[in-house]
Structure 1
């Protein structure tokens, strides 16, 4: 079905066919990210087998062969930021599916401001960490 719905030109390109089939079956990078977070070391498992599965899931989640190092780092930072958010804020940010860390920060600030009326959670001074300055321009 996924193949038949493709444009005839795209149907000749393996990557496009693969992407369509995976989309149709709801297998995407997020599937592998969630699988990674559920991974445990099974009793009696071989370390190499567990490590290989983790590596494969990371590659399928982050797709480093298709992205720059900076894009991969952004995805990891975004995912980790989502993990450390307080309850409520975490759900709010995840529901909005930000594509960048800067978007996630803005969503978190908006959520916090809405939860505490009259108290702004947005910073008006300059960030103390040089790495945070890039969030405003991202």
Structure 2
């Protein structure tokens, strides 16, 4: 890494993560194999779990995709509901897979 790049935090962080092969899978494994320290209070355990979860799932980048996939899943579970993953996958065409039915006007 040249000197100019080393002044950019984002580039340094990316280089370190790549060098040590730290990626979402690393955090998933740490999250799933977490051991509770005997001297750790519940708040400290919660903080560790939350940090690992956020680094694993990266909700800022993946929450909209998760919502789309959930809608596709719900549509697939409803019998007779035509659906196509490719239709729901595109950002511009995204819409809920089903319309919730309220009690108003039902017989």
TM-score by length of 2: 0.55
**Alignment partner, residue 72 of structure 2:** none
Where structure 2 has 5 or more consecutive residues not aligned to the other structure, the ranges are 70-74, 90-107
1:24 paired to 2:19:
yes
Using the alignment, how far apart are the partners of 1:60 and 1:31 within structure 2? Answer: 9
Larger radius of gyration: 2
Using the alignment, how far apart are the partners of 2:82 and 2:26 within structure 1? Answer: 29
* CA displacement at 1:14 relative to structure 2: 1.1
* CA displacement at 1:55 relative to structure 2: 0.6
Stretches of 4+ aligned residues off by more than 6 angstroms = none
Change (3 A) 1:11 1:49: same
Paired residues, number: 82
**Alignment partner, residue 129 of structure 1:** 78
Structure possessing the higher relative contact order (Cα contacts under 8 Å, 6 or more residues apart)? 2
* CA displacement at 1:20 relative to structure 2: 1.1
